[in-house]
Chain A
Amino acid sequence: MRHLLSTRDLDRDTAIGILDVAEDMAQTADRQVRKLPPLRGKTVVNLFFEDSTRTRLSFESAAKRLSADVITVVAKGSSVSKGESLKDTAQTLAAMGADAIVVRHHDSGAAHQLAHAGWLDATVINAGDGTHEHPTQALLDAFTMRSWRFGTASRGRDLSGLRIVIVGDILHSRVARSNVWLLTTLGAQVDLVAPRTLLPHGVEHWPVTVYEHLDDALATRCDAVMMLRIQAERMRDAFFPSTREYALEWGLSAERLARLSPDTMVMHPGPMNRGLEISSAAADSRRSTVLSQVTNGVSVRMAVLYLLVSGSGSTAGAE
């Protein structure tokens, strides 16, 4: 594997392999020295055409913990805002000797184009492209679910037998797309809940069951409820009558939280709209994994960077 563009490209064993390496990376957080040497002398460029705090910080600290040199380019304040094309930016970065490019872009397919247009030779990691995919978010969600369910016995396991309910703006959500592919590859059952206006075309061909009402989906026991952010910045139409109505019908309220089975985890990729898709009671409850998702994000991104950037490309098993 040379690039990470979509979770569709990951087969079960590769996905489990990444999660297992992430376990090793997570262990280094308790050490006296938290830095590891494998990317010494490598340059990782974070190329962000779209606002992001946690993903950018997460990739930055992951690359730094692996001893890479990190350059962060944010679209505001760079030539990108002066109208430099993706191609020119890519060629500039290639000329600077970037070994890996972590890219976030508002257009779906931007990461794919960067990887395959022949503009540069570096490894490309998709950190979110339009409404298409956000593979490392799905990997960290899967990692969080696996740790919640199996604890220290997580290594080598997939997610078969788990039922995951993903709720909200599926139409605009790259997190949902990446999760649907990855979680089903790992054997989990994925159910989606959304108003009909926020479902993408062709969702009937996805390997999922779709519910219109949250209460129907939560009537059966599930292992995780993943609340998606209502992405006001991508909404150019009226997709639902009012935020109040959305919160009532599709929000994870305190009452719905109380009805969940005690071992169901509450997930959110952040940033949260409290009072809209998730109530404060749910966001701050003990079963909320919002903060461990952030912590796990660094370990998972370390694993991805290590596996893609350190060696000569192909992957060998342990000796």
Chain B
Amino acid sequence: MVARIVLHDADITRALRRIAHEVIESRRGEGHLVFLGIPTRGVTLAQRIQRIVDEIEPGVSSVGSLDITLYRDDLVNSPTRTPAPTRIPTAGIDDAIVILVDDVLYSGRTIRAALDALVDHGRPRSVRLAVLVDRGHRELPIRADFIGKNLPSSTNERVSVRLAEIDGADEVTIDS
């Protein structure tokens, strides 16, 4: 197993900064932005992106988390998973622009589950998807609106995202 670093900490910071700007641009001056991170690392990424957005346009956004464990399509055949907390900002998501944030976009099944989970919390004006890494191999008709890095990979490779808050350092590696 050889781990190759594909994004260093400065690359990650730049990618998140660019995503934050793209999100603001797509808002076109209207609507409240709610960043919902998918546990575990999506939550950290959502917090970082929202912090940048809040510096540029204060007060137009809030941040939370959306756990998808109970909405997974593989619950029946896999060991029981422990859910993580869902924290929806107190104002709710009705009529907001929800930006789902995850670390890696792969099969698309996590995002399918997240869309299901989302409708149980309210009816957003629109839902968009931001990911740090898009590694391809989709199994569902889902695509990201904001992408940190497109990373063509083979299915037997392993993409790992490490973030300072959880893992002590920022980096994205690919093992083959």
* A binding-site residues for B, Cβ under 8 Å: 17, 20-21, 23-24, 27, 31-33, 35-38, 155, 306-308, 310-319
Chain A to chain B: the 3 pairs with minimum beta-carbon distance, closest first: A311-B80, A33-B120, A316-B79
Cα of A32 to Cα of B92 in the assembled complex, Å: 10
Dominant secondary structure of chain B at its interface with chain A: loop
Partner of A317 from the list B39, B67, B77, B82 (CB cut-off 8 Å) is B82
* B binding-site residues for A, Cβ under 8 Å: 39-40, 67, 69-71, 75-86, 88, 116, 119-122
Given A23-B85, A24-B67, A318-B39: A35 and B120 within 8 A (CB)?
yes
Closest to B85 in A: A24
Tell me the smallest distance from the CB of A283 to a CB of chain B, in Å.
33
Question: A155: which B residues are within 8 A, CB to CB?
Answer: 85
Given A35-B120, A312-B77: A318 and B82 within 8 A (CB)?
yes
Query: Which of A37, A307, A313 has the most chain B CB atoms closer than 10 A to its own CB?
Result: A37
Cα of A311 to Cα of B74 in the assembled complex, Å: 9
Cα of A27 to Cα of B64 in the assembled complex, Å: 14
Given A37-B71, A306-B70: A314 and B119 within 8 A (CB)?
no
Cα of A155 to Cα of B82 in the assembled complex, Å: 13
User: Total A-B pairs in contact (CB under 8 Å)?
Assistant: 73
Question: B122: which A residues are within 8 A, CB to CB?
Answer: 32
Dominant secondary structure of chain A at its interface with chain B: loop
Tell me the smallest distance from the CB of A41 to a CB of chain B, in Å.
8
Closest to A307 in B: B80
Report yes or no: B80 in contact with A316, Cβ–Cβ below 8 A.
yes
Question: B70: which A residues are within 8 A, CB to CB?
Answer: 36-38, 306
Cα of A23 to Cα of B76 in the assembled complex, Å: 22
Query: Which of B67, B76, B84, B119 has the most chain A CB atoms closer than 10 A to its own CB?
Result: B76
Closest to B121 in A: A31
Question: A306: which B residues are within 8 A, CB to CB?
Answer: 70, 80
Report yes or no: A318 in contact with B84, Cβ–Cβ below 8 A.
yes
What are 24 pairs between A and B in contact, CB < 8 Å?
A: A20-B82, A24-B84, A24-B86, A27-B86, A32-B121, A32-B122, A33-B119, A33-B120, A33-B121, A35-B120, A37-B70, A37-B116, A38-B75, A155-B85, A306-B70, A306-B80, A310-B76, A311-B75, A315-B82, A316-B82, A317-B82, A318-B39, A318-B82, A318-B84
Question: B77: which A residues are within 8 A, CB to CB?
Answer: 312
Cα of A314 to Cα of B88 in the assembled complex, Å: 30
Question: A24: which B residues are within 8 A, CB to CB?
Answer: 67, 83-86
Cα of A37 to Cα of B116 in the assembled complex, Å: 10
Question: B121: which A residues are within 8 A, CB to CB?
Answer: 31-33
